[in-house]
Amino acid sequence: MPDNSDCIDVNVALGPRSYHISVVSDRFDQFAETLESWLNHNPAFRNTVAEGNKSALIITDENLATLHASKVEKSLKTRGWKWETAVIEPGEKSKSLAVISDLYDRLVAMKADRQTIVIAVGGGVIGDAAGFVAATYVRGLPFVQVPTSLLAHVDSSVGGKVGVNHPQAKNLIGAFYQPLGVFIDTSTLETLPDRDYRSGLAEVVKYGVILDARFFQYLEQNIDGLNQRSAEVLRKVIARSCELKAEVVEQDEHERTGLRAILNYGHTFAHAFEALCGYGELMHGEAVSIGMIYASYLAEKLNLISHQETERQVHLLQALGLPTLLPEGTQLSNDDIIDRMKLDKKTVGGQLRFVLPTCLGRVEVFKEIPEAQVREVLDELKRSVSSDDFQI
């Protein structure tokens, strides 16, 4: 586990694209100083501060402009930076080429050059959109992530995926573009709605299952701290989650070896549930929480893990206020679920593939899972929905 200090630094080792993730609490006043430190230690930008080329475009949304972006602005002001702030609408509709074009116009108007920093202050949508702007304007501007949701802290801000949506598909247009650095302040979670916060916790639990059994145990031992949003516990949990994702990204930065597929534990079921329930009915993390249990039970069916290992996941997720079964009354047919799963990006030649645990702390990708066994899982867990306890 990361150390107990008030600032935990995580290194993402990607050669010339390496960067640091700074995990702090109530330290927005240090943002500009941290940014300058990253610039000074980066060979491509080390003269930026010395030559006085301190300009930035902050990209945020209407919900966060006053709440968090203003703190970034205040810090920049104390260090003599010049900046402009572009405020876009919250939600997926802002991940469009029309919105991106407007942001290009802002950069043109402010005479941005390759020393101008793009600063994303927000959740995953802001990070994706701002990162895409940075990756494509004059073929690349330095880019800093200031994620404000737990899901963005531990997932979307790490790994370099940026992009926008196409009318026919989500995230169809994009790039791999690593940031200059990621500044995570846990104080942003104090104002995060409860459901959004708990949705992010599902991805945290996922890291323990797929990569680190000791981390999973730490989560079990710190349920109260997580539920109370303890700054000390959150710093450790966020930093370790980032470390674990970084380890995977370092080995498969551009998704060419297949290793990054392990990050999709629970997602084959989850994406089907999200789509069929109607996007918004289940939050992504809620669907992932349910999907992990369905995947774990499938692993039991294949004699990969014990029922006790599934139960530990159930108990932890439930203790964190997350669902582990589809809501009672959900009417989803097995045929519809299977058909939707066949659209998953891990499916090859119509054959279902799943990321499944072989023990807590390790998962593998399994090909050609018999459809009949998947149907058994769906049927048996469907019968469990109406019971008070998770009993199989």
User: Residues marked as binding for NAD(+)?
Assistant: 124-128, 148-149, 161, 170, 188-191
- Is the Cβ–Cβ distance between 179 and 55 less than 8 Å? no
The residues, any chain, with a CB within 8 Å of residue 297's CB and separated by 6 or more, are 310, 377, 380, 381, 392
Is 255 designated active site?
yes
Is 63 designated active site?
no
Active-site residue, from 240, 245, 340, 353: 245
Q: Which residues of 335-369 are buried (b: 16+ CB within 10 A; e: fewer)?
A: eebeebbeebebeeeeebbbbbbeebbebeebeeb
Is 47 designated active site?
no
Active-site residue, from 4, 51, 139, 303: 139
Is 309 designated active site?
no
Active-site residue, from 71, 267, 312, 353: 267
Question: Which residues fall in the annotated binding site?
Answer: 124-128, 148-149, 161, 170, 188-191, 203, 267, 284
Active-site residue, from 54, 153, 165, 203: 203
Q: Which string of DSSP letters, residue by residue, matches 63-93?
A: TTIIIIIHHHHHHHHHTT-EEEEEEE-SSGG
Cα–Cα distance measured from residue 87 to residue 69, given in angstroms and rounded to the nearest whole number: 10
Active-site residue, from 153, 243, 264, 312: 264
Is 139 designated active site?
yes
For residue 295 the two structure tokens come to 């995947």
Closest CA to 219 of 293, 292, 316: 316
Cα–Cα distance measured from residue 233 to residue 31, given in angstroms and rounded to the nearest whole number: 21
Is 106 designated active site?
no
Closest CA to 145 of 66, 6, 37, 35: 35
Q: Within 10 A of 220 (CB to CB), how many other CB atoms are there? A: 14
Active-site residue, from 36, 84, 232, 255: 255
SS3 (DSSP) at 60: strand
Active-site residue, from 95, 236, 240, 271: 271
Question: Which residues fall in the annotated binding site for Zn(2+)?
Answer: 203, 267, 284
Is 284 designated active site?
yes
Closest CA to 348 of 365, 372, 333, 373: 365
Is 353 designated active site?
no
Is 227 designated active site?
no
Residues annotated catalytic, as ranges: 139, 161, 203, 245, 255, 260, 264, 267, 271, 284
